[in-house]
Amino acid sequence: MDSTDQLILRELSQNGRMTMKELGEKVHLTGQATAARVLKLEEAGIIDGYTIRVPKEKLGYPVHAFVTAIMHEPRHQKFLDDLDSRTETVSRYFKTSGEGCYLIECHFPTHQKLDEFLNDISEFASYKVTIAIQQYGQ
């Protein structure tokens, strides 16, 4: 991956909807040459998809929480299945090392719904909660 590829990635991450001609103008290539480079980046798995970002707050989920789960038992699949079923509120989760077993990023419409979630997962884990006040960057 060279500096032109990096520039292509930077431009696409800022505006994934631009045409190959527009992108080519920004990286000083023809539209056809740009499209060929983008295809190679896709085939190499460097670009693995295109998406839109909609802030959860705009969808009625203003409570943004990070929950560190400390599991009670060594078998976690039932807990992970439970998280996977909560697609409206659980944005993503990570297996971690250190203090907790999982870091769960969540969005809720109210603090009451967050409390209900915490009560539900207490069957599987103890937890620590951090509420996001302000987001910076992407």
What are the pLDDT digits (tens) for 10-55? 999 989 999 999 999 999 999 999 999 999 999 999 999 888 888 8
- 130: β partners: 66
The range of the structural domain enclosing residue 38 comes to 3-43
Neighbours of 103 (CB within 10 A): 18
Q: Does residue 78 belong to any structural domain of this protein? A: yes
Same domain, yes or no, for 87 and 126? yes
Please, which residues have CB within 8 angstroms of residue 20's CB and are 6 or more apart in sequence?
A: 31, 32, 34, 35, 38
**Domain assignment of residue 68, yes or no:** yes
Do 63 and 116 belong to one domain?
yes
- The pLDDT > 90 percentage for the chain reads 88
Look at residue 138 and tell me if it is in a domain: no
Mean pLDDT of 110-117: 98
Task: Tell me whether residue 75 is in a domain.
Answer: yes
Look at phi and psi of residue 98 and say left if phi exceeds 0, alpha if psi is from -120 to 50, else beta. left
The structure's pTM equals: 0.76
Number of domains within the chain: 2
Cα separation, 60 vs 45, whole angstroms:
34
Question: What CATH number corresponds to the domain at position 80?
Answer: 3.30.70.920
Would you say 106 and 90 are in contact if contact means Cβ atoms under 8 Å apart?
Answer: yes
